[in-house]
Copies of this chain bind each other. A is one copy, B any other.
Amino acid sequence: MAEKKYVYDFDEAYGLGKELLGGKGAGLAEMTHIGVPIPQGFTVTTEACAVYYDSGKKLPDFVVKQVFDAIAVIEKKTGKTFGGKKNPLLVSVRSGARVSMPGMMDTILNLGLNDAAFEALASETSNKRFAADCYRRFILMFTNIAKGHPRTEMDKMLEELKESRGYKLDTEITEAELLELVKEYKAYYKKVFGEDFPSDPKVQLIEAVSAVFRSWDNPRANVYRKMNEIPYSWGTAVNVQSMAFGNKGETSGTGVGFSRNPATGEKGIYAEYLPNAQGEDVVAGIRTPLHIDYLKEKMPAVYDQFMNTVHKLEDHYKDMQDMEFTVEDGKLYFLQTRNGKRTAQAGLKIANDLMDEGKIDEKTAVLRIDPRSLDTLLHPSFDVASLKAAKVLGVGLPASPGAGVGTLAFTAEDAEARHLKGEKVILVRAETSPEDIVGMNSSEAILTMRGGMTSHAAVVARGMGKTCVVGCATAVINEKKQTLTFNGKVYGVNDVLSVNGSTGEIYEGAIKLVPANLDSGDFGRIMKLADKFRKLHVRTNADTPRDAKQARAFGAEGIGLCRTEHMFFDADRIFHMRKMILSEDIKVREAALDAILPHQRDDFHQLYLAMEGEAVNIRLLDPPLHEFLPQDAGQIAELAKAIGVTVEHVNERIEYLHEFNPMMGHRGCRLDVTYPEIGRMQARAIIEAAILASKDLGKPVEPEIMIPLTFGIKEFRFVKQIIVEEAEKVLKEHGVKLNYHVGTMIEIPRAAITATSIAKEAEFFSFGTNDLTQMTFGFSRDDATKFLPDYYANRILEQDPFATIDQEGVGRLVRLATKEGKEGNAELHVGVCGEHGGDPTSVEFFHNSGLDYVSCSPFRVPVARLAAAQAQIKNPR
């Protein structure tokens, strides 16, 4: 039997797929295949990563052997020798997971250097300073990344050197000084680890490959994966490539490029170039790169080859490419290509343009858009008039579009803390690092002093749909003093600024925001396609005419959930509500409900009008009654006086209504079982309003009446009877006919388990996946915040089950109840109205589970429409 291959040379790896090679490895194999110039190398597969962990975080001998065999192949192809005293082969070692995880994984460059290889490299390139710089960088990266030791002390050595010599730039440091640093680094290494820095390149290589595998499990990677729903089990591959040196002098350099503008989607190559530098200089934002025109001017032939290759790559991948390249002594190497991250607006434009160019079809265009990205398009921008009057403090790179207004936070922690208190903040940082991710997500906008369009801040902010301006060099940020200075004027934590992510401008004070404008046509065109393909209907959760109108503008096909409890809190009704709750006399309760009826009827009437005849699903009162009662003594006294009872009586009743576990208490349809008069009043309001609205609209309104918290058929039947009796009574009183539908939430596990029988009498099911998740997991959302962090940290849960449906557990109940419900009643209409209805992954699951519709908050409606279309394209039904 042939030995299992864990290592593939780039030219034998084509077609093996990202799962095995990782995204970067697959890209390198594919580039090799289509003739793009790249440095020789090989990929250590994701299967090797699994083997590494299975072997107790150790690379087994059979993998080690294959790695060295592959090194031998490079040696043969390049004529260089790994660890050779002459013509030494130096390599880069990079991670490459199945999907890109920017800034999360680690890279080691110039591996293979030792004293002898340094001498050889120096002599063979006639550039001793370059060789010394490589050596210094390598020791630093190896110590920091492969050995996991902080780089602080070594950075300090460099800084002290520069300070002592009065240097501003790294490039001013001399060859001798670099070699002095190499010695200092090595001595430091020995002090820290108690052994010499490894001079054997083979030891270096195996250590580096192991370090990449290890980094899959580092806390930053885990956070990123959780945010992006990337399974831990995928693992990463490692790519080992002979080095291309961008720092060999003025005919060398490094760059990054996009085949189209990643911020706007405009056609035309968008690239940046940094002469005499290695890639890390660009990514780390240490130096700000130049426009690609610099290359055109200095090395037109290389520029032409670059442009041709970019077109070749985009034609091949049929999508906008994000590339890294290096020029070594006038020779061009592509180091990586991948489908580029882009803003939502750019994503839409690129998809439409590629479709118009005949490169992709409609379905592919729909699949190209990340539904989550649409969120950013729906959010506000600056009012143009106000903008004209605003004072521009500075301009940076427009890294991620949008408009953000807030007070300044100088640390991620502060941003998060103030965000939790409800404050709107702008995160201001010299540059961001992966530790800042949560703070970034808590901010209205991010502003950095350093970094380019592909710096950490820029890439992450675009992913989040956060407004972001980077590389604003005129901003002086003092993180310690918590000040931001523009032209001598100092702004602190209490000052408000406005950030324009679309232009890069920073303004003083708060500029007026105007709602999102979706008129460019790209959005509408893609949404129209989405509606063409999707089978799943999309409704909205809306309690007010305003929300309902907003949702209709976003394409909602009806209201899937109108919560009626909010309607009881208005000043003109809460008094009656409380009076009802405090009374044990049905006559008093009925009189109080009679007083609420006209208000409730008017609420529904307005809602029907806003929906113009589209479906409106109204849920009966859900929360426990004690939620409506006042808490503090003053209010209690006031209430007692108003109702004409003693304070003691009110307190006794509050005490009586107290619940140990209100989430599992006297709420939902249990209220209607005990107090049928509540259900009767609501049924009357719903039907009377429908009669009025039908007349106003000149077409029939067919309300859907939803019974919450049902656990079984007998309970459903009992409450349905209360509703139907009152509804029929109202219709008889008015002498009209009107269709209405009575159905139930499925949010109690038992309801899902006994769906067959409930479906026989229910006209619809609507999964309340919030409560269903709580009951199925047995934890309350409010209390779980205390222990869920431990669950994420220990990977017991990989994602928030309240954000994305738990397919294995809760999802099984959804599938079961849908299947058995429809078996019990072929006409049963099935939807979902929990938060999950607007989550793309969950929407796909609901499509695959055979639901008829999802209902979500208004701003999620476009997201759900697109996700539904993608689900249908991937898995037609």
Please, which residues of chain B bring their CB within 8 A of the CB of A829?
Answer: none
Assembly CA distance A748 to B774 (angstroms): 10
A662 is an interface residue with CB less than 8 A from chain B = yes
Residues of B within 8 A of A786 (CB): 665-666, 674
Residue of B nearest to A670 (CB): B787
Q: Do residues A661 and B787 form an inter-chain contact, with CB atoms below 8 A?
A: no
- Contact status of A663 and B666, CB under 8 A, knowing A674-B790, A778-B750: no
**Inter-chain contacts of A670 with B (CB < 8 A):** 779, 787
Contact A754 B673 (CB under 8 A): no
A715 at the interface (CB under 8 A from B): yes
Q: Are A661 and B783 in contact (CB under 8 A)?
A: yes
Query: Known interface pairs A660-B662, A712-B808, A718-B794. Does A753 touch B783 (Cβ–Cβ under 8 Å)?
Result: no
A777, B748: Cβ atoms closer than 8 Å: yes
Nearest CB of chain B from residue A656's CB, rounded to whole Å: 8
A584 at the interface (CB under 8 A from B): no
Interface residues of A in 514-528 (CB under 8 A from B): none
Evaluate contact between B661 and A778: CB separation under 8 angstroms: no
Distance between A522 CB and nearest chain B CB, rounded to angstroms: 42
Contact A791 B673 (CB under 8 A): yes
Contact in complex: A778, B714 (CB < 8 Å)? no
* Residue A795 CB within 8 A of the other chain: yes
| Assembled-state Cα–Cα distance A93/B555 (Å) | 68
Instruction: List chain B residues, Cβ under 8 A from A711.
Output: 777-779, 809
A810 within 8 A of B: yes
**A741 on interface, CB distance cutoff 8 Å:** no
* Given known contacts A718-B796, A790-B674, A664 and B779 CB-to-CB distance under 8 angstroms: yes
A778 partner, pick from B662, B748, B808, B812, beta carbons under 8 A: B748
Residue with the highest number of chain B CB atoms closer than 10 Å, among A749, A778, A813: A778
A809 lies within 8 A of B753 (CB): yes
> Knowing A663-B661, A664-B661, A664-B664 touch, does A709 contact B783 (C-beta < 8 A)?
no
Residue A606 at the chain B interface, CB threshold 8 Å? no
Contact B664 A754 (CB under 8 A): no
B750 with A659: CB separation less than 8 A: no
Interface residues of A in 638-695 (CB under 8 A from B): 659-666, 670, 673-674
Contacts of A750 in B (CB 8 A): 776-778, 806, 809-810
Which B residues are in CB contact (< 8 Å) with A674?
A: 786-787, 790
| Chain B positions within 8 Å of A812 at CB level | 753-754
A780 to B778, CA, bound (A): 12
Nearest CB on B from A799, distance (A): 12
Q: Is A771 an interface residue (CB 8 A)?
A: yes
Report the bound CA distance from A774 to B665 in whole Å.
10
Tell me, yes or no, whether A782 is within 8 Å of chain B by CB. Answer: yes
Q: Does A393 contact B (CB under 8 A)?
A: no
Contacts of A794 in B (CB 8 A): 673, 718
Q: Is the CB of A782 within 8 A of B660?
A: yes
With a CB–CB cut-off of 8 A, which chain B residues contact A754?
808-809, 812
State the Cβ distance, A203 to closest chain B Cβ, in Å: 33
Shortest A477–chain B CB gap in Å is: 13
Task: Kindly report which residue of chain B lies nearest to residue A657, judged by CB atoms.
Answer: B786
* Residue of A660, A709, A774, A782 most packed against chain B (CB within 10 A): A660
Asked if A161 is an interface residue, CB under 8 A from chain B, the answer is no
Task: Tell me if A775 is interfacial: C-beta within 8 Å of chain B.
Answer: yes
- Given A712-B808, A749-B776, A794-B718 in contact, is the A663-B665 Cβ separation under 8 Å? no
CB contacts (< 8 Å) of A806 on chain B: these are: 750
Q: How far is the CA of A175 from the CA of B184 in the complex (A)?
A: 131
Instruction: Establish whether residues B778 and A664, one from each chain, have CB atoms under 8 Å apart when the complex forms.
Output: yes
* 747-765 of chain A: CB within 8 A of chain B: 747-750, 753-754, 757
Q: Are B776 and A753 in contact (CB under 8 A)?
A: yes
Within 8 A of B (CB), among A323-370: none
Alpha-carbon distance between A78 and B662 when the two chains are bound, in angstroms: 67
- CB proximity to B under 8 Å, residues A797-828: 797, 806, 808-810, 812-813
Q: In the complex, A783 Cα to B709 Cα: how many Å? A: 15
In the bound complex, CA of A655 to CA of B784 (Å):
16
Q: Closest chain B residue to A748 by CB distance?
A: B778
The answer for the CA separation of A673 and B793 in the assembled complex, in Å, is 10
Question: With A673-B790, A714-B795, A796-B715 in contact, is A665–B808 under 8 Å at CB?
Answer: no
Q: Given contacts A795-B714, A809-B712, is CB(A771)–CB(B780) below 8 Å?
A: no
Chain B residues contacting A771 (CB-CB under 8 Å) are 778
Q: A835: shortest Cβ distance to chain B, in Å?
A: 18
Residues from 598 to 617 in A contacting B, C-beta threshold 8 Å: none
Query: Which among A661, A754, A812 has the greatest number of chain B C-beta atoms within 10 A?
Result: A661
CB within 8 Å of B: which of A712-729?
A: 712, 714-715, 718
Q: How far is the CB of A59 from chain B (nearest CB, A)?
A: 25
A660-B663 contact given A791-B673, A808-B754, A810-B750, CB 8 Å threshold: yes
**Which residues of B sit under 8 angstroms from A775, Cβ to Cβ?**
749, 775-776, 778
Give which listed residue, B661, B777, B813, contacts A661 with CB less than 8 A.
Answer: B661
Known contacts A754-B809, A809-B754: A665-B779 contact under CB 8 Å: yes
Q: Give the CA-CA distance A791 to B714 in the complex, in Å.
A: 10
Assess the A714–B660 pair: CB atoms within 8 A. Answer: no
A806 and B749 CA atoms in complex are apart in Å by: 13
Find out whether the CB atom of B796 lies under 8 angstroms from the CB atom of A673. Answer: yes
CB pair A664 B808 closer than 8 Å: no
Smallest CB separation, A474 vs chain B (Å): 15
Q: Report chain B residues within 8 Å CB of A813.
A: 749, 753
Instruction: Give 24 pairs: A residue, B residue, CB < 8 Å, sorted on A.
Output: A659-B782, A660-B780, A661-B783, A663-B664, A664-B774, A664-B783, A666-B787, A673-B796, A674-B790, A711-B777, A711-B779, A714-B796, A715-B796, A748-B776, A749-B778, A749-B813, A750-B776, A753-B776, A753-B809, A753-B813, A754-B809, A754-B812, A771-B778, A775-B775
Which 8 pairs show the lowest CB-CB distances between chains A and B? A748-B778, A661-B780, A750-B809, A665-B783, A664-B780, A749-B749, A661-B661, A661-B663
Contacts A659-B780, A712-B808, A754-B812 supplied; 20 other A-B pairs, CB < 8 Å:
A659-B783, A660-B662, A661-B664, A661-B780, A662-B783, A664-B778, A664-B780, A665-B784, A666-B787, A673-B796, A674-B790, A711-B778, A712-B796, A714-B796, A715-B796, A747-B778, A749-B813, A750-B777, A750-B778, A753-B808
